[in-house]
Structures are given as structure tokens and as C-alpha cells.
Amino acid sequence: MSHGLEILHSHSGLERDLKFPKHTVLIDAKFVHLFHKDTAIAFRYGGIDYFKVNILQFVRNGGVFKNLNS
């Protein structure tokens, strides 16, 4: 969940809890249009749709790191 955030952001708390690799960022599904379709991997957790994307692409797209757990 984006917790009301309307900017591209990560869910680094959830990434940490799920032991994601450091080069992967979890984003809300509504931001997937900012990434090439071949580089975004669908991911569902707790009934919420996310996408896994490369951290470098995330930063290039102006992403903001947030410590969100959901």
C-alpha cells in the first residue's frame, strides 16, 4: 500500500523482511508504467500487487526510498 504517497517510492521495510536482494526494489503496481515491461516482475504479497524492479532503474526514475512494511 502506498499510504497516500503519490510519488514513486519503495517498500524497503517489506523488502528487508522478505530478504530481497539489495539490487531489487519493490514498488506499487500503479507505478509499473514507468519501467520497461520486460524488467518489472509482478509480485503479490498480503493480497496487494507490487512489482520488483532494478534499483538503478528505480533511482533513474526519481524513486524515493521509504521504510514501508506494506
The domain locations on the chain are: 12-60
SS (H, E, C) 2-63: CCCCCCCECCHHHHHHCCCCCCEEEEEHHHHHHCCCCCCEEEEECCEEEEEEEHHHHHHCCC
pLDDT at 2: 57
Q: Is the pTM of this model over 0.85?
A: yes
pLDDT at 4 exceeding the cut of 90: no
pLDDT of res. 47:
96
Cα–Cα dist 49/42, whole Å: 7
Q: Name which residue leads in pLDDT, 63 or 68.
A: 63
pLDDT digits (tens, 9 = 90+) for 14-55: 999 999 999 999 999 999 999 998 999 999 999 999 999 999
Mean pLDDT for 3-14 is: 88
